């Protein structure tokens, strides 16, 4: 399986995401923001960082990059896409996911290990988890508070599209402690914490973020999850 990792100006977790892909047993393919070419990959990761310096709103400029002109229709056609942190912000700006990521409560940048509860294991990126499984992964953001109108929030809850929730309350002020969501089809997932930083106990707090990546590999291989 070949998983593309997009690099925007200001991306800083693209190398970590590529490393996570290798750990999961897939081939990482580097994709450049200015190219209108997905290189025939089987899935795409939009990594964390500060794309285009986070000018205007986080992800607002990246949403109009040439690579997104190819990615958006591909995602709508079923291509698995995982947006992590800044990638989640880009997915919301591109209207592949509803809602928006806003300034943290307290207006402070947060960098800490956090406990998550994985709720939806039916997506392309969460099939290797058990429903209700708790994991520890890092969170690091200044604009990570998820926000949406009440109708959208109720629909996300009703349809099981809240992928993960902060177990002990959102450190950044996300409504309903939402840490990640997916689209109706389950192929597009946005996650504010960083599973790519938790794939090996030697370098991360745990290896509990790795199933986000092995799930995509298993789904592509047709493995029964």
Q: What is the pLDDT of residue 194?
A: 98
- Assigned CATH for 2-221: 3.40.50.880
Cα 89 to Cα 57: distance, rounded to the nearest angstrom? 9
> Is residue 193 a contact partner of residue 86, using CB atoms and an 8 Å limit?
no
Q: What is the pLDDT of residue 89?
A: 97
| pLDDT score of 225 more than 80 | no
Cα 139 to Cα 141: distance, rounded to the nearest angstrom? 7
Q: What is the pLDDT of residue 224?
A: 41
DSSP letters for 37-97: --TT-SEEEE--B-GGGG-SSTTTTGGGSHHHHHHHHHHHTT--EEEETHHHHHHHHTTSS
| pLDDT score of 221 more than 80 | no
Closest CA to 21 of 45, 52, 40: 45
Q: pLDDT category, 222, cuts 50, 70, 90?
A: low
Catalytic residue among 85, 143, 182, 197: 85
Closest CA to 193 of 105, 101, 95, 116: 116
Query: Cα-flanking dihedrals φ and ψ of residue 45, to 5°?
Result: -115, 130
Q: What is the pLDDT of residue 220?
A: 87
Cα 19 to Cα 158: distance, rounded to the nearest angstrom? 35
Catalytic residue among 58, 194, 197, 208: 194
| Count of Cβ atoms closer than 10 Å to residue 28 Cβ | 20
Residue 163, helix vs strand vs coil: strand
Q: What does the domain layout of the chain look like in residue ranges?
A: 2-221
pLDDT digits (tens, 9 = 90+) for 150-205: 999 999 999 999 999 999 999 999 999 999 999 999 999 999 999 999 999 988 88
pLDDT digits (tens, 9 = 90+) for 87-99: 999 999 999 999 9
Catalytic residue among 70, 93, 196, 208: 196
- State the pTM of this model: 0.95
Catalytic residue status for 194 = yes
Catalytic residue status for 111 = no
List for the chain the helix, strand, coil content (%; round to 5). Answer: 30, 25, 45
């Amino acid at each position: 399986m070949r998983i593309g990792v997009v690099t925007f100006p200001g991306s800083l977790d693209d190398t970590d995401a590529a490393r996570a892909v290798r750990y999961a047993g897939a081939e990482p393919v580097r994709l450049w923001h200015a190219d209108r070419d997905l290189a025939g990959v089987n899935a795409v990761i939009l990594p964390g960082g500060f794309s285009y310096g986070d000018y205007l709103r986080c992800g607002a400029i990246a949403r109009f990059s040439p690579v997104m002109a190819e990615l958006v229709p591909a995602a709508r056609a079923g291509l698995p896409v995982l947006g992590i942190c800044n990638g989640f912000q880009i997915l919301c700006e591109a209207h592949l996911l509803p809602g928006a990521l806003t300034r943290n409560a307290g207006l402070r940048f947060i960098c800490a290990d956090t406990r998550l509860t994985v709720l939806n294991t039916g997506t392309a990126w969460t099939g290797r988890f058990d429903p209700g499984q708790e994991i520890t992964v890092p969170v690091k953001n200044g604009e990570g508070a998820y926000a949406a109108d009440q109708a959208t929030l109720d629909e996300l809850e009703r349809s099981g599209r809240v992928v993960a929730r902060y177990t002990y309350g959102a450190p950044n002020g996300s409504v309903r402690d939402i840490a990640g969501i997916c689209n109706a089809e389950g192929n597009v997932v946005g996650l504010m914490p960083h599973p790519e930083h938790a794939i090996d106990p030697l370098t991360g707090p745990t290896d509990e973020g790795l199933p986000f990546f092995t799930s995509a590999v298993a789904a592509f291989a047709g493995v029964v999850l």
